């Protein structure tokens, strides 16, 4: 996992000078998440630290362990989370707090944030991996239906991801409208 993490992060020049942590912990509602580290460095964008957490103790893990996933799927998942980190870089600390509150309480905002993360990942060359991850998660009959419903509701569909990839390849703005 750490080798894949290092490889994916290597494609994000804006993250190269940042302190990044990758750790395994128990997550209640997701399999992977990206967020800033809340410490004294949080208040300055230039010194803010970030982490990507992943969980083995999650409903998905009861059906599939990360180590058993195809590398392309893991790379897509990490690339999506790295997209969140890039999205956070320009936000001042009050903007990060506002982001967290809106992400937790405002469902259209959550969907838009997930779209931005996928779009950033595609722009960094991970379109095929993002698409492979979406297909894996939505077509894996062993995953809980509740989890798949959440994915369909708040995350881009494979068709929308293909639209992002096509727009990127053609050098134009994507025409995906957040719902």
What phi and psi, each to the nearest 5 degrees, are found at residue 54? -135, 155
pLDDT of residue 1: 77
Assess if residue 175 is contained within a domain.
no
Assess if residue 10 is contained within a domain.
yes
Distance CA 24, CA 40 (A): 23
Assess if residue 146 is contained within a domain.
yes
Assess if residue 179 is contained within a domain.
no
Which residues make Cβ contacts (< 8 Å) with residue 136, sequence separation at least 6?
A: 69, 70, 73
Torsion of CA 116, 5, 147, 101, to 10 degrees: -50
- pLDDT, one tens digit per residue, over 75-128 is 999 999 999 999 999 999 999 999 999 999 999 999 999 999 999 999 999 999
pLDDT of residue 176: 57
Closest to 87 measured CA to CA, from 48, 54, 53, 55: 48
Q: How many domains does the chain have?
A: 1
Assess if residue 178 is contained within a domain.
no
* Cβ-contact 74, 39 below 8 angstroms: no
CA distance to 47, 96, 150, 164, per residue, from 147 (Å): 35, 26, 5, 23
Assess if residue 7 is contained within a domain.
yes
Assess if residue 43 is contained within a domain.
yes
Query: What mean pLDDT is reported for the chain?
Result: 89
Average pLDDT over residues 43-65: 77
pLDDT at 136 over 80: yes
**pTM for the full model?**
0.89
- What is the residue range of 149's domain? 2-170
Assess if residue 36 is contained within a domain.
yes
């Amino acid at each position: 996992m750490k080798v894949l993490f290092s490889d994916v992060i290597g494609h994000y020049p804006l993250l190269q000078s940042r302190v990044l942590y990758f750790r395994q912990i128990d997550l209640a509602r997701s399999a992977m998440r990206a967020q800033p580290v809340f410490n004294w460095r949080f208040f300055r964008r230039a010194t803010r630290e970030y982490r990507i957490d992943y969980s083995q103790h999650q409903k998905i893990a009861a059906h599939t362990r990360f180590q058993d996933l195809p590398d392309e799927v893991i790379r897509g998942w990490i690339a999506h989370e790295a997209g969140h980190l890039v999205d956070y870089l320009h936000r001042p600390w009050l903007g990060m707090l506002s982001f967290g509150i809106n992400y937790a309480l405002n469902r259209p905002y959550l969907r838009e944030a997930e779209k931005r993360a996928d779009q950033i990942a595609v722009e960094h060359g991970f379109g095929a991996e993002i698409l492979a991850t979406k297909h894996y998660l939505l077509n894996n009959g062993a995953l809980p239906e509740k989890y798949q419903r959440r994915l369909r509701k708040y995350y881009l569909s494979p068709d929308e991801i293909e639209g992002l990839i096509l727009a990127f390849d053609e050098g134009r703005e994507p025409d995906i409208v957040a719902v």
